[in-house]
Amino acid sequence: GLTGPTALSAHQVFSPLTKERPVFRINKPVAVIREPSDFYSEILQGIERARRRVVLSSLYIGSEETELVDYLDRALNKNPDLEVLILLDCLRGTRIDGAGMSSTSLLAPLVKRHANVRVALYHTPALSGLNKTAWPQRYNETFGLQHIKAYLFDDDVVISGANLSRDYFTNRQDRYMRFGDKPLADYFAGLVHAISRFSFRLVSKNASTHPLGAEGVAASDMGLRLPDDTPDPARNPSDFIRDANATMAEFLEGAQVRHAVDPATLSEHDTLVIPTVQMRQLGITQDEAHLSEFFSLSDSFARRYGCRNMMASAYFNFSPICKRLVLDSASRWDLLVASPEANGFYTAAGVSKYIPDMYSIFEHDFLRYARKQYGRQDIAIEEYARPGWTYHGKGVWCYLDSNLPQVTMIGSSNYGYRSIYCDLEAQVTLIPGNKDLQNDIHQEALYLLSHSKMVTETELKGRTRSAPLWLYALKPFISKKM
């Protein structure tokens, strides 16, 4: 229930979100994890505990993560029944670093040693034909990526926005929640298996395999092969999209039927999880529709009783749809993003080092527009600024008119143009059924805000003055590709 003046529970306000989507009643405590080092411990302990399955879905695994691979190796040696499935993005997972290594070269020995390890690499159909040969590594990733972050050990699943690399385990702040629920773990295992059915597979090289990245550098005896009868996304994108869409639609429709709930049977003491996915390049727009409906429901509530929301993203690059929904909403909004110093591009070389300036320009444009065109003084931008740390957390906290959050969203989406139009994304909407969990989610928000400061229009204007003029010419590219 609410501590505010209304008698409406979040379960009543948001009950339309439970229609035509899979819904999971969670009976075990949900662990809200705060620190990157604790996230890393969760991953290692999860691998150690697992007896039946380990499923890791990430953008990439850092090529230096030998300890993680050692843990997998030991678990497989100890446990011949253990099945391991790793899903990465094909472009990012084969990108060669300065040491001549990649995610695939790190994982190749594991694939060779263990028959029950599968490494799947999703390739976007948007990078095909001439684009495939014309764009260099790093830049080709702007066409679309496998961005889903879910880490599953038997019947536990950790949902996050974090990748599996050193900075995400030490000083790159993200969000992480562990759910101990077999049906929910089965759902995410099913999701990753479905995507892997139309993804490349890391295998021993033969005549029918694609070479890996920079040929001869990364695991030269390994190659990539598509499952039989899967059209090549780079050579035959339209057939690939048709087949991938059919696979995903079958999975999502099956999940919706299996995990349908009757809203009339829900109690405000139920902790509910609603997973949603977005794969617009494959014709799947579930999360986009879900987010729109969430905004609409919270807005209807706000117009009657008032409402406070917070939305976080690694980058101030919210999609035009999200920005419009925030501006049109009757809710008060805090938007939490990385400060320039906490942006992953801050220490980058070349043109990339100016990307944080570009985000400051976006922030200034938005705040000025919100104040002048909409008269909104109740929208604030907070920047995460913690010395020596970068910021990558994303999600939504909805308080309705209460002191504690009544809903949170957590997952891989940055709520940007790319999240909606280019990448494969998954997030969960969590409606907590008890005060303890509400408080844990609230403390997580306060913890992130404790390392943040509110920025003013004046401060942002001062920052943008020092940005080179040519940067403005890149605005359309950066707004859609970063």
400: left (phi over 0), alpha (psi -120 to 50) or beta: left
Residue the block writes with tokens 């609409």: 296
CA atoms 9, 10, 13, 16: torsion sign: negative
Helix/strand/coil for 186: helix
Look up 259 and say whether it is catalytic.
no
Look up 147 and say whether it is catalytic.
yes
Question: Which residue(s) pair with 24 in the sheet?
Answer: 273
> Where are the alpha helices (H) located in 306-385, listed in sequence order?
320-328, 355-372
Catalytic residue among 149, 259, 364, 442: 149
Question: Which residue(s) pair with 427 in the sheet?
Answer: 276, 411
Give me 294's structure tokens.
């969430």
278 with 420: CB under 8 angstroms?
A: yes
d(CA 54, CA 48) in angstroms, rounded, equals: 10
d(CA 182, CA 91) in angstroms, rounded, equals: 32
Catalytic residue among 11, 73, 114, 154: 154
64 with 165: CB under 8 angstroms?
A: yes
Catalytic residue among 11, 114, 147, 290: 147
Question: To which H or E segment does residue 338 belong?
Answer: strand 332-338
N- to C-terminal Cα separation, the chain: 40
10 with 407: CB under 8 angstroms?
A: yes
Look up 364 and say whether it is catalytic.
no
Catalytic residues: 147, 149, 154
